A and B are shown apart, each in its own frame.
Chain A
Amino acid sequence: MSTALDNSMLTLVTFIPLAGALLLLFFPRRDRDIRLFALVVSLLDFVLSLHLPVHFQRGQTAFQYEVNNLWISNPNIHYHMGVDGVSMWLVVLTTFLTPLCVLISWNSINERVKEFFILLLVLQTALIGVFVALDLFLFYFFWEATLIPMALLIGVFGHGRRVYAAVKFFLYTMVASMFMLAAILWLYAKTGTFDFVSIQTAIHNGQVENFGGAATWLFLGFFIAFAVKVPVFPFHTWLPDAHVEAPTAGSVLLAGVLLKMGTYGMFRFNLGLFPEQSRSNASWIMVLALIGIIYGALVAMVQPNMKKLIAYSSISHLGFVVLGIFSFTQAGLDGATFVMLAHGVSTGGLFMLAGILYERRHTYEISEFGGLATPMPVYATFFMVIMLASVGLPLLNGFIGEFLVLSGAFRDRAVYGILGATGVIWSACYLLWMYQRVFYGKVTHPVNLSLPDLSGRERAALWPAAAVALVMGVAPLLWLNAIDPAIQTALAPFAQLASKMVGR
């Protein structure tokens, strides 16, 4: 494969959606064509992004497909992009989910269609940008850029209390990311560069002046921005509101990708730049993660609203990711990355399923349903598969990640592993109980008897999610063999730290 293509691949994958959005701007307002065009653009982007894993050098630990050009000379900002095994898969997750989002919004969005798909594609560019940026400035740029389209998607196309939810979402994340900006500026003031790799080396070699005094604050500055995004308990209150009010596609991207920006940030920047501070702060962060796992699950249990239930289940699942990241074990981090991907597919799928039901009945209340397996057998089957993936049934994707995380956490401290493991049980409880109430028994509301089953378009949106959930569960190594080297590199400083401590 030509190197020119390799070099421009990340730029292409990142900006094709944006280019599509700009073209859409000048499109005539023929809704069908607009939808079709958005689908073509997002599929094209997905196909192109597959180039990344296909030509990825599995054994290599450095960043790949790098581009590094000067963008602005003062301040010293580079257009520096590159991926490792972790970020590459997150990019593919994003490009995988977007076409599904287009499909699922086909009929549910029938007003201001053009604006909707423009926002969706702009959001995609920003999301991919977050994962591939290796310049702190560029990263912050994309990070903030995700806010506006997402807030507008919720606020303009959402349900009842959409404005409240959009503003809450925007303010929470905006305020938190200000702290990250302050930390980034501090690093720039001391090192004169935004380059992730250069800053990492400078910190590692102790060349940053006054670093010792500021390091904990910098760590917290980054952490708070990411913790709100994940969200880590107690910063989670924006999430259920945002999810319940968001349109289906918004929820899919929000749960599937946006939340991962937070955990990815923790992995890349908190661990990457501040290994010592990560180590010393790990205990309380892990406690928060455990609270998130258990609290999220318990609250999910009592939700009468299906979408809110899935939202709280996200808090619980993302708790696993944080737990794995701060266990500093190979298994824990491998698992955390795998959970990120698996959760993106399965929860994305669950939100699509909930959205399909909403299109038919305009409600998410679980009590409004019951016995749906009779009128909608295909729907019930898809729901079953994807729900079981989310529960963590072996052979489906949820199991691998959670198992690895738990074994990592167990190795770090047994009690973490034990408490975390209860989360798996809880998730089985609330999801299965929800499934039972919605699908089994007699049809309690006569309206539900005549609900149509899945249309071809809806099946086209669900098949990929279900299939990938199965493949990820059966052959996790396809993913893990790229993730593994990246984790090893990330953990190298921790091994040194440990030996330093032993040496003392």
Chain B
Amino acid sequence: MTSANDMTQVIPQAADYVRILPEIVLAVFGMTVMVLDPFIEERRNQKTLGIIALLGSLAALVATLFQSQYPGLGFWNMVQVDSFSVFFHFLVAAITAVVILTSFEYMKVQRIRAGEYYALVLFGAVGMSLMSSAVELVLIFIALEISSISTYILAGFRLRAAISSESSLKYFLLGSFATAFFLYGVALMFGATGSTSITTIANALHARDIPLLAYIGVALMFVGLGFKVAAAPFHVWTPDVYEGAPAPVVGFMSTAPKAAAFAVLLRVMFQADAPGRLWLIWVVAALSMTLGNIGALVQDNVKRLLAYSSIAQAGYMLIAFGGLPNNGIAAVMFYTASYAAMNVGAFAVISHISGEGERFVTLEDYEGLGRRSPLLAAILTIFLLSLIGIPITGGFFAKFYVFSAALQANLVGLVIIGVLNSAVASYYYLRLIVVMYMREAREDVPVSPIPIGLGAALAISLAATIYLGVLPGRLLDYAARTATEWAR
């Protein structure tokens, strides 16, 4: 500990700024987009602002790579750069880039003004990145708010559709409620341990008997984060919000904020070694998988179907929290990455097919897609197979690591529930594949050719999905470093 009158305590050093470099980059680009918006003529601003935003996310990727050379704490021990935060920074920036690529075409087709949209995506990414590097609960809360508020607004961006405003409002009201839970949990945790710093909390919890307050604090924080990752029983908002929000935004908010919230959960559960987590996880994981999959069985709207599927997928991820740190953490991280690849990709396809005003989003509209657009159908099929968990896709190894982490902690019951659930889940993903390939083509649903931005987005997601399915070792090894770093 440095003394109180040391200058470094008061004035942030250059090293401190390196610790939040990706966030700074994203924020600067976001503000640039907002400032430029009024100066660029209406016709051209779509593309220009989109490209600036894309550059912003790519710059954030570079900043993350640069930052990874300088691990350590910054800003009075509030942010920490470690392999964990680098992993999630990279993931969030990559998702942002792919979503922006998807949005080019979408914004044009839907005739939505681009300016604030791209800025909000970048601001959201700032919050999500910060969530993964913050090691202080109040900062985590602020980051969570930055990320949430951006996504609330993004959900309502289909200005002409009432359902989109409904989605935004619903998300906002329930989301604020959930963050309040989180904040309450933080307050109780502070009461129990006298600190909001995750490492101090971990030490305090190890040092003496765990007070009841700490259990309640953990449970309340879990409620707040459970809402953000759409885990049952805090999932009721998900289908409505996903149905109303613009399709690329759903691709974004079903992956990036979810990954960030899982990052916070990992910090709270494993780095702070939260007490009493096992039963919480058991119940919530089992509920999420079961309710999500059962709900998905009867959906006819593709966006709602994937909403329920994302609830179930959150359940699978939660299983790994029951595992031991040495493989549980890596399993969750791997899952978030491969889930991001397949889900962003799936929503990219959906946003392309949905057409103006998102008219074509029911299962019927996908009839005969295998004939009308063999390439899109094949790509979507691969993402769906990955969501089922079929080998040579990332989704397979994701499930695999999660289940094997839980088995090593002897959670046989939970794994059996998970395995049965993934069997049930294969039914509704398969339904979509069947509709695409085995029904007669519908002529009244036009499929336009794939524009270059969307093509790039699809190529990246597809490559990531297959790469993680064939050579998962490197990413997993990288993720596994976290456990050793935290154990020190």
Contacts and interface: CB of A to CB of B under 8 A. Distances in A.
Interface of A: 72-75, 140-141, 144-145, 147-148, 152, 155-156, 162-163, 166-167, 170-171, 174-175, 178-179, 181-182, 185-186, 188-189
B438 A156 contact: yes
A130 to B, nearest CB: 12
Contacts of B427: 171
Given A155-B434, A155-B438, A156-B437, A178 B420 contact: yes
Given A166-B438, A171-B426, A171-B430, A189 B391 contact: no
B426 A174 contact: yes
Please give me the 10 A-B residue pairs with the lowest Cβ-Cβ distance, nearest first. A189-B407, A175-B423, A141-B391, A163-B438, A72-B473, A178-B423, A155-B438, A178-B419, A182-B419, A189-B408
Given A148-B390, A167-B434, A178-B422, A73 B416 contact: no
Contacts of B471: 72
Contacts of A167: 430-431, 434
Contact of A145 (B392, B416, B423, B438): B392
* B-side interface mostly: helix
Contacts of B392: 141, 145
A303 to B, nearest CB: 26
Interface centre among B385, B407, B420, B439 (most CB of A within 10 A): B407
A174 B391 CA distance: 12
Nearest to B469: A141
Contact of B390 (A144, A171, A189): A144
B66 interface: no
B438 A185 contact: no
Interface string B381-403: 00001000011100000001101
Nearest to B412: A186
What is the size category of the interface that chain B forms with chain A? 20 to 34
Given A163-B434, A167-B430, A73 B473 contact: yes
A142 to B, nearest CB: 8
Contacts of A185: 400, 403-404, 407, 415
Given A162-B438, A171-B427, 12 more contacts: A141-B391, A141-B392, A144-B390, A144-B391, A145-B391, A145-B392, A155-B434, A155-B437, A167-B431, A178-B420, A185-B403, A185-B415
Contacts of A162: 438
B325 to A, nearest CB: 15
Nearest to A179: B419
* A-side interface mostly: helix
A177 to B, nearest CB: 9
Nearest to B421: A178
Interface in B425-446: 426-427, 430-431, 434, 437-439
B42 interface: no
A174 B438 contact: no
A174 B389 CA distance: 11
A182 B319 CA distance: 14
B434 A75 contact: no
Nearest to B415: A182
Contacts of A75: 400-401, 404
27 contacts: A72-B471, A74-B473, A74-B476, A74-B480, A75-B401, A141-B392, A145-B390, A147-B390, A155-B434, A155-B438, A156-B370, A156-B437, A156-B438, A167-B434, A170-B426, A170-B430, A175-B426, A178-B423, A182-B403, A182-B415, A182-B416, A185-B403, A185-B404, A186-B407, A188-B407, A189-B404, A189-B407
A311 B471 CA distance: 40
A145 B391 CA distance: 7
B234 to A, nearest CB: 27
Nearest to A180: B419
Contacts of B476: 74
B472 interface: yes
A362 B431 CA distance: 29
B485 interface: no
A155 B437 CA distance: 8
Nearest to B390: A144
Given A141-B391, A170-B426, A188 B404 contact: yes
A279 B320 CA distance: 36
A113 to B, nearest CB: 14
B477 interface: yes
B388 to A, nearest CB: 8
A320 to B, nearest CB: 30
Interface in B75-118: none
A255 to B, nearest CB: 22
A186 B400 CA distance: 11
Interface string B21-56: 000000000000000000000000000000000000
Given A72-B471, A174-B423, A178-B422, A140 B430 contact: no
Contacts of A156: 370, 437-438
Interface string B317-328: 000000000000
A75 B390 CA distance: 17
A481 to B, nearest CB: 36
B416 to A, nearest CB: 6
Contacts of B473: 72-74
A182 B415 CA distance: 8
A393 to B, nearest CB: 41
A82 B401 CA distance: 26
Contact of B419 (A73, A141, A181): A181
Contacts of B390: 144-145, 147-148
Contacts of B385: 148
A170 B385 CA distance: 12
Interface string B251-282: 00000000000000000000000000000000
A159 to B, nearest CB: 12
A155 B433 CA distance: 11
Contacts of B423: 171, 174-175, 178
Contacts of A155: 434, 437-438
A171 B420 CA distance: 12
A174 B433 CA distance: 15
Interface centre among A166, A178, A186 (most CB of B within 10 A): A178
A163 B367 CA distance: 13
A167 B426 CA distance: 10
A155 B400 CA distance: 28
Contacts of B403: 181-182, 185
B185 to A, nearest CB: 33
Nearest to B476: A74
Contacts of A148: 385, 390
Interface string B473-484: 100110010000
B126 to A, nearest CB: 33
Nearest to A77: B473
B391 A140 contact: yes
A426 B419 CA distance: 40
B470 to A, nearest CB: 9
B289 to A, nearest CB: 13
A483 B48 CA distance: 70
Contacts of A163: 434, 438-439
A185 B423 CA distance: 16
B434 A73 contact: no
A185 B422 CA distance: 15
A369 to B, nearest CB: 30
A174 B438 CA distance: 19
A171 B426 CA distance: 8
